[in-house]
Amino acid sequence: MRTGIAKIPVQNAFCERCADVIRNRILKDQSVQNLMLFPSESMITFNFNWANQVSEVLNILTRLGYPPEGDEVTTSSYTLPFCKCENKNENYGLMAS
């Protein structure tokens, strides 16, 4: 069986908590192995068994609002990323001062 490692930088930031949500959504649809999400780098890596799995995972990420870096995002296909945690923290910081 031919396998490989996919390293996918995505366009939008996500936090640790939202990384769990993304992981669950991907694993619900795709049986990829060693799925790792790196919030500080906006990077997702996993082992795949066939190339089709990579494009399936990319589709899921795009639907969640995390298209891979370098992808053209048209207005019609654009989804807002669901992670608003970073922005919220910034707002709280401003309100406290």
**CB closer to Zn ion, 1 vs 80:** 80
37, 23 Cβ separation under 8 angstroms: yes
CB of 21 to Zn ion, least distance (A): 8
**CB closer to Zn ion, 35 vs 83:** 83
Cβ neighbours for 28, distance < 8 A, ≥ 6 positions apart = none
**CB closer to Zn ion, 18 vs 58:** 18
Among 8, 10, 18, 37, binds Zn ion (CB under 5 A): 18
42, 12 Cβ separation under 8 angstroms: yes
Tokens 């019609």 label which residue?
Answer: 76
What residues from 35 to 94 belong to the interface with Zn ion (CB under 5 A)? 83, 85
10 binds Zn ion (CB under 5 A): no
22 binds Zn ion (CB under 5 A): no
